[in-house]
Each structure stands twice: as structure tokens, then as C-alpha cells.
Structure 1
Amino acid sequence: MMMRLMMYVLWTAALLMVSPARAAYPDRPIVLVVPFAAGGPADVMARTLAKSMGTRIGQTIVVENRPGAGGLVGIAGVTRATADGYTLGMAGTGALVYAPFISPKMPFDPLKDVTHLSTMVSTPNLVVVNASSPFKSVADLLAAAKREPERFTVASAGVGSSTHVVGALFQREAGIRLRHVPYKGGAPAVQDLMGGQVDMFIAEVPAVAHLIKGGKLRALMVTDTKRLAALPDVPTAAEAGLPKVLAAGAYGIVAPRGLPEDVARKIVDAVTGALRAPDVVEKFAEQGGIGQSSTPDAYRALIKSEQGRWGPVIKAAGITAE
């Protein structure tokens, strides 16, 4: 009996020697995948957040750009990574909310295949026209569009993009029909709007605010319940007569499914602290963004709620991936 006990003790000790405890997180650099091109507003905000988060979590956070398919490529890569907290993603509305109703072959389930950590920032949209356009208000645009259905054009950053989906909501609520002109990105759409090739565009604030201030574009409405501090003369959706046309580009922080709770808690704490930092608030505001953190449960509930809201809009408009 004594011999068996001694053998058991030795065997247990050997196991402990070859099975060291998990190192305290984080003990090496963390990658934040941004599924958009470098240099754009989303990328600037991601890098601002990453720097501030890194200070708080005690480790370098490296931003890695993986653009493609409206954000699906980058976030799909995140879902395939090891769930250890060293690969995070900045997920947008397009990948988590719109894509399930648009893409026939979704590479992941936005509700099941990611760990939702926290919301990050929202950027309202602006209904914009060329500065020389005869439309001085939303009322002007709607009156003309109702007189001549499908004569006037609305640009988008591509089929299934947020600009396309919000444009469909705008038309549904306004009771008008515009001719959709898709582009390969927001930049060429804005260029043609300034050149007079299209009549209107619905863009996130960061993409067009400087052009409005510079007198090249005119904003008719912001898709929010409050006016923008940076553009205080632009009426809200309700003030323009379309109170249900509320939309914003919303971004959050996600990780692969199965992230340990203690690791998730550290990341959420770092996000929350960073978003309260004055320099982060200021930098986000420069890009037209409004930072706001949340609990993981609240973030997941928001994605589910937004899917319920936008799914019918997308289906009614017949929007499908090319």
C-alpha cells in the first residue's frame, strides 16, 4: 500500500513538472485585424485605440490590415485564429449585420463564431449632393424624385455595401425610386458625385466631412437623432422629415469563439479605458466617430437586434452579392 502511495505521489509530481500553468495574459504582442485598407478613417481610429489599449493592457497591439469583401475577409481570418486573446478584430456593420442577408456563402456565423467583446465607435451617415446641385434640402430631392421616378441616381460603394443598404432604407421611407449606381469603393463614388456624374450619395461622416467644409459637397441630412458638432447646420433625419432613416457605421472588437473569460475581461477593460481617454475621444471626433464601449452581452445583443432591423430592408430591396 505504501509503495502504491509513493508511486502515485511521484506520478502526480511528474505531471505537474511537464504541465506548467498558462502564462499570464498577455505575454507577447497582440494583433488587431482591421478588415479595411490602411489610411482610411476606420484604420486611423483602430490604430488610435490600439495604442491606448496597449498602454493599459501592458503589451504592444499591432494593427494588421486585411481588406476585402466589405470586411468579411479580415473577420473570417479572425474566426479561424486560436482563441487565446492574441488575435482580435475590428468588425463593422457590413460583416456582422448586412452580410448574412447578402452573401450566399458566409464564411462564418456572426453570432456563433466570434466572441463579441465590446462596441468601439459609430460614425453617422450624411446624405450628400454636389455643391452645385439644385437640391438645397431633402424636400427638394424628394419632390423631384417623385415627379420623375428613377431619373435621379444614388451612388454606393458597391453592391451590398453599407452605403447601398442605407440608400435602400432612404428610398423606402421616402417613397421614391432612385437609380442605383454602384462603385468599387466610396472614393470613386465621391469623385463622380463631385464631377456631377451622379446625383447623391449616402456616406459615413469621415469620408465626406472635409469636402462639405471645403464647399465641394452639400449635406442635406445626417442619419441620426442629433446634429453633428462638426456640422451643426445639417438637419437630423427627423428634421428632414425622415425620422426612421437612422443609420451609422458601427464598429466593435471581436475575437475567435471560445475566448477564456479572464482574457476577455482584460481586453474589455482595456477597450473601456482607452475609449475614455481624452486623446482618443479627440482623435475619434476628428474622424467623425463617436466612441462607446459596452459589455460583451450588450454588443452581441446589438448585433442580433440590428440583423432583425436590416434583414427586411435588404430582402425587400433585393440586394444580393454580385
Structure 2
Amino acid sequence: MDKNNGIDLRRRALAGALALGLAAPAAIAQAQPAYPSKPIRLVTPFPPGGAADTLARALGKSMNEATGTPVVVENRAGAGGTIGTATVAKAEPDGYTLLLGNVSTLATAPSLYAKLPYDPLRDFTPITLVGRSPLVFSVGPGVQAGTLPELVALAKSDPGKLNYGSSGAGSITHLTGELLNIAAEGSMVHVPYKGSAPVVMAMMSGELDVGVTQVAEMLQQYRAGQVRPLAITGTRRLDVVPQVPTAQELGVPNLEATTWYAVVAPQGLPPQVAQTLQAMMAKALDNPEFRKRYADEGLILESSSSEALAELMRKEVASWAEVVKRSGVRLD
């Protein structure tokens, strides 16, 4: 064989191999179906029937109606929501496993648990905020305070006499109650319950003086005149209870805390998949019927950019760490 011909053949073979190598990734990319091509699993780290579970199912239904993508809600409850949250943190970052987390799992948990099995700022790709729900401070019929400042003054006048109830130790209602207790110079005794329904019942019976709940959880009893809401957290009044002022209006500072919900995915999610998910969620949250349903319960649905959610999480982790430090609350 001619030497030059041999060199030429080797060059052609090498060029062909390089062409195949360059074409292979493109062919693989073209073979992959467009996202999403199968049902999305939305994990809620709380038991069935609660506020987070109900919201997850309503969101999944709205996403399916808005985009045609099936959404399967999976409950992975336990350890204050940290078990299900850790499960999603370790999942494949392919866009088919998401978490509907909240302020407890994504902001307060790092300060409450010494050995948290995930880092909310490191282990997740933020997708979108879902909604915010102010909390409400209510009292039972036997408490002689008509306003929040009067309640604070009453607590200060007789330390240890008044108690306040939350839905559980370390819950957002507990920590928000601690904010109120700081305003009352630590004079109220915390009583943890297993959920908000027992808190409302205890207020009605006179067993509990003050309850910290979401607005929807005491609406029925409020309308029946069985409990009295004194103030809500947050920065503005709610349309569902327009006559109830904010703590800020009443001159009691540092009570702007709210419960919020957000969708996140495992860290490492491809940017284009994150963008697709954010657009899908925004479309689902724009459903007028969906929005009205939750506005009537005190939850304001609100989508956001991934960047805005990341910034919210950073700020909330830092601010709740300070509250936990001042209150001394620990869960392990």
C-alpha cells in the first residue's frame, strides 16, 4: 500500500470517529423526550388531611388542568416534616420529584434540629413560592383583654398566669407565639398541642388563654362567637377577616411572621427544567377559582421566580435562627 494512501485512510478513519463522537450526544439529546413526559411526584412531608396536604392536592389538580401534566401527591410524614423533606433532597434531580415545603421545613428546621439530614439552602433548587398565610392571635371568652396591647399588658402584670397554645413544639405557631412572648417579656407559659384543632377547642373551654393558629383554623369558631381574634401577623389585613387588625397596626413590633409554602426540587436540577416548572406552577397558581378558594381561607396564593424564592429562604433561615436563639427552643 502506498504510504500516502495509508496516512490518508487513517486520517479519514480518525475524522469519522470524531464525527461520530460529536454526533452521539446530539443524537442522545434528540432521543430524550421533552420535559415533562411522565407524571410528576409532589411530596408533602405531612400527614393526609392537613393544610399542607390539602394545598398539595389542590395545586396538583390545578397544574394538571392548566398544563395537562399529571401530578401524584405523596405523603411522607414524620419528624416535623423533616423525613419527607430529606427524601426529596436525596432524589434524582430530573424534575419528576418535587417537594411542597413550608416555613417550618425550609426555614426554621436548621435552627431547631442539631442533626438535620438536609440543608435547605444547599440541597434544593428553588422553583416558586406558592402562598403566604398570616397567623392569628386569639383568646378564649374568659380572657379580659380586648386588644393585643391589652393582652401584653395583662401578661406582664401577672407573670406565669396566662398560657398560650401552639400546634406543637417547634412549629411555626410555637415560634410565632414566642415572638409574642418576647413582647410580653416572657411572662406566658407555652402549652404544645397535637395540631391546631385542639388549640381552638382548649380556648373555647377556658383551658387555654391564648391560641396561635392559621386564620382558617379558627374561622368557624370566630364566626360563632366562641373565640376572639385580637390581631394577625403579616403586614396587611386579610379580606376574609377585614375587621381584625395587624399587630403592626396596634404598635406591637416584630410580629410580621407568616406561614409560607414553596415548591423546591433536588439540587442539580437542569436550568431549563427549573424554568419549565416555574412557568407551569405560575400558570396553575393563576387559576381564579383556586385563588379565591384559598383567599377565603386566609392563604394568599403567590408565585415567584426561583431567585426570589432563594432570597426569601436565605432571609427566613437567618431571621428564625435569631428567634430560636432568643427563645431557647430546641427539638433534639
Report TM bin, short chain: over 0.9
Q: State the 1:50 CA deviation.
A: 1.4
Q: Which whole-Å deviations, capped at 9, do the CAs of 1:24-60 have from their partners, x for residues lacking one?
A: 1111100111112222232222222212222334310
Contact 2:141 2:206 in 1 (8 A): no
1:2 aligns to 2:9 (yes or no): yes
Query: 2:290 pairs with 260, 273, 280, which one?
Result: 280
SS, match of residue 139 in structure 1: helix
1:115 aligns to 2:125 (yes or no): yes
1:188 aligns to 2:194 (yes or no): no
Q: Which residue of 1 aligns with 2:81?
A: 71
Query: 1:16 pairs with 4, 13, 24, which one?
Result: 24
Contact 1:284 1:291 in 2 (8 A): yes
SS, match of residue 256 in structure 2: coil
Query: 1:162 pairs with 164, 172, 184, which one?
Result: 172
Quote the Cα distance in structure 1 between the aligned partners of 2:199 and 2:229.
15
Cα distance change, pair 292–13 in 1 and its aligned pair in 2 (3 A): same
Q: Which residue of 2 aligns with 1:151?
A: 161
Q: Where in structure 2 are there 5+ consecutive unaligned residues?
A: 1-7
Contact 1:168 1:317 in 2 (8 A): yes
Query: 2:255 pairs with 207, 224, 245, which one?
Result: 245
1:200 aligns to 2:207 (yes or no): no
Contact 1:126 1:223 in 2 (8 A): yes
Which residue identity is paired with 2:9? M
Q: Which residue of 1 aligns with 2:221?
A: 211
Which residue identity is paired with 1:16? A
Q: Which residue of 1 aligns with 2:63?
A: 53
Q: State the 1:8 CA deviation.
A: 5.8
Instruction: Answer with 6-15 or 251-260: which moved more.
Output: 6-15
Q: Which residue of 1 aligns with 2:3?
A: none
Cα distance change, pair 31–212 in 1 and its aligned pair in 2 (3 A): same
Per the normalisation by structure 2, the TM-score is 0.90
SS, match of residue 46 in structure 1: helix
Quote the Cα distance in structure 1 between the aligned partners of 2:283 and 2:263.
14
1:225 aligns to 2:232 (yes or no): no
- Equivalence map 1:86-101=2 (5 Å): 86-101=96-111
SS, match of residue 20 in structure 1: helix
Which residue identity is paired with 1:187? A
Q: Where in structure 1 are there 5+ consecutive unaligned residues?
A: none
Quote the Cα distance in structure 2 between the aligned partners of 1:137 and 1:228.
17
Instruction: Answer with 257-266 or 182-191: which moved more.
Output: 182-191
SS, match of residue 28 in structure 2: coil
Instruction: Answer with 199-208 or 50-59: which moved more.
Output: 50-59
SS, match of residue 37 in structure 1: coil
Q: State the 1:9 CA deviation.
A: 3.0
Which residue identity is paired with 1:240? L
State how many pairs are aligned: 322
Contact 2:248 2:256 in 1 (8 A): no
1:85 aligns to 2:95 (yes or no): yes
Q: State the 1:69 CA deviation.
A: 2.2
RMSD of aligned C-alpha atoms?
2.1
Contact 2:128 2:262 in 1 (8 A): yes
Cα distance change, pair 272–40 in 1 and its aligned pair in 2 (3 A): same
Contact 1:89 1:254 in 2 (8 A): yes
Q: Which whole-Å deviations, capped at 9, do the CAs of 1:208-252 have from their partners, x for residues lacking one?
A: 222212222110101122111111111111232213211110110
Per the normalisation by structure 1, the TM-score is 0.93
Q: Which whole-Å deviations, capped at 9, do the CAs of 1:115-161 have from their partners, x for residues lacking one?
A: 11111101100001123433322133222211110111111222211
Quote the Cα distance in structure 2 between the aligned partners of 1:211 and 1:311.
33
Query: 2:54 pairs with 3, 20, 44, which one?
Result: 44
Instruction: Answer with 56-65 or 80-89: which moved more.
Output: 56-65
Which residue identity is paired with 2:254? K
Quote the Cα distance in structure 2 between the aligned partners of 1:290 and 1:3.
68
